[in-house]
Amino acid sequence: MGSEGRRLDPLAEAFAGSADSYDRVRPGYEDEPLDWAFRELGLDGGSIVLDLAAGTGKLSQALAPRAGLLIAVEPLAGMRRLLAARAPEATLLDGTAEQIPMGDGSVDAVFVGEAFHWFDGVRALPEIHRVLRPAGGLALLWHHVSWHDRASWADEFEARLREVPAPDVRPENRPHTLRWQEAFAGNDLFTPLEHREFSHPVMVNSEQIVQLVLSWSFVAALPEADRELLGRDLSQTVHNHAGDAPLELPFVTHVYLARKL
């Protein structure tokens, strides 16, 4: 595989050193959004499904029982190690969204969990289009949490996060900016995106909240000493407001669907 296809965003590569913590604290996928995506895309237990940028296998684990064959593509070896244990049914491949190591028209659907904002969309969409069968489907999923819905400590928490230096953060790599959608604008490869949201509240303790933040790319990229200091500060902030009581994080799973033209 050529170097052009292997180029990753430096912040995305930061996940390589935090695969275990990423795996512990990132939420999984509930049935409702995946059932909806399978129904809308006409998929069933005989479908061949590709989990692209599969990470540690959270999405692969949920897709495997639904698909006839699940293929998981992930460029980071540390992620693939956990992926192999979590989704042993999946066929694992080393590759990127911009250079998918599969043949033309080989899958019924491509799923991408928490990752499309890291892709070079202009290059990735033709590759996804290439590996899809005629009228194949594309599903993009993200989990977002609204810190302000139920968290009295959110303002102080976010103020501390704004102090974190993040020189490599770009708007196009932040999913909430929706800049990733620009790759779909005006292209004749896919139908317009269809969007639905699914409530996904998660009960956590204060330490799990902190570990979740420490798994974010711009935080994972910090020097270890700075990351540890931030973790202590955030732990103290949450503990001052909530003590040891369990907290509900109001996650919402966003699902975007498109079909190959």
Domain boundaries of the chain, sorted by first residue:
3-148+175-203+250-259
Examine the pLDDT at 16 and tell me if it is beyond 60: no
Which amino acid is it at 136? G
Does the domain at residues 3-148+175-203+250-259 carry the CATH identifier 3.30.830.10? Answer: no
pLDDT of residue 151: 60
Distance CA 11, CA 221 (A): 6
53: tokens are: 């940028």
Task: Look at strands 69-73 and 48-52 and give their pairing.
Answer: parallel
Examine the pLDDT at 4 and tell me if it is beyond 70: no
- How confident is the model over 197-216, as pLDDT tens digits? 999 888 877 788 787 777 77
Average the pLDDT over 119-148 and give the result. Answer: 92
Average per-residue pLDDT in the chain? 84
Q: Exposed/middle/buried for 18, CB within 10 Å: 0-12, 13-18, 19+?
A: buried
Average the pLDDT over 221-242 and give the result. Answer: 81
Q: Helices 224-242 & 206-214, crossing angle to 10 degrees?
A: 150
- How confident is the model over 103-128, as pLDDT tens digits? 999 999 999 999 999 899 999 999 99
- Going by the DSSP 8-state scheme, the letter that residue 101 receives in this structure is S
